[in-house]
A and B are shown apart, each in its own frame.
Chain A
């Protein structure tokens, strides 16, 4: 069971880089790592997904070490609108017991 552990909350200021780490010690060979963003009363929104090493898109980067037991979501130059809950999801989506959202990290960005 690939359970994840994330910090409950983080604070940052506008313009700073934010790194949120997720631990997933029991990740399986075929598991992907996916991060979602959720604003209050809205559905989670896909941010980025990766399997190993580094993945970058227009909004974030995902760093995955060789052992894949953790991953770090990096948000460059955050703004107030990045205030949200960020979830780390590990699993081969579609398998029972694998669809587990972590507790989420509540990121608060201050001006």
Chain B
């Protein structure tokens, strides 16, 4: 158990809908990262937040957004969902802004029908 929790574990929804994925980092970790893993794309970095502020952006679509709250939990919002958004979404956390090991959560499996 990495100490990172993600909810829900599974999510099934329809195209065009909007969903919110939640992540609670390890106690004391200030950085939260979001990744998408689909069968044909591998593990793709989406975005990083550090102590409530966005710090790094990867291949995140404009339909996706994220935020980190004062209690350091983070949410990833996915809107106007498409079939291709079906994937595993992982959250990871680390103590500082950079240079630390990332600890990954168990993931949320999103299925868009």
Seen from chain A, the residues whose Cβ lies within 8 Å of a Cβ on chain B are 32, 34, 36, 38, 41-46, 49, 87, 92-101, 103-104
Contacts and interface: CB of A to CB of B under 8 A. Distances in A.
A58 to B, nearest CB: 15
Interface residues of B, number: 30
Contact of B42 (A93, A96, A98, A104): A104
Nearest to B44: A101
Interface stretch (B14-22, B64-72, B78-86, B101-109): B101-109
A59 to B, nearest CB: 14
A51 to B, nearest CB: 10
B92 interface: yes
Given A42-B107, A43-B2, A94-B55, A99 B101 contact: no
A35 to B, nearest CB: 11
B56 A95 contact: yes
B43 A44 contact: yes
A32 B100 CA distance: 9
Contacts, number: 64
B31 interface: yes
Nearest to A91: B98
Contact of A99 (B58, B100, B106, B107): B58
Interface of B: 2, 4, 31, 33, 42-45, 48, 50, 55-58, 88, 90, 92, 94, 97-107, 109
5 contacts: A34-B101, A38-B43, A92-B98, A96-B56, A97-B58
A92 B31 CA distance: 14
A interface majority secondary structure: loop
Nearest to A98: B56
Contact of B105 (A32, A43, A94): A43
Given A32-B99, A93-B99, A94-B99, A87 B55 contact: no
B97 to A, nearest CB: 5
B101 A46 contact: yes
Contact of B100 (A93, A98, A104): A93
Contacts of B94: 93
Contacts of B98: 92-95
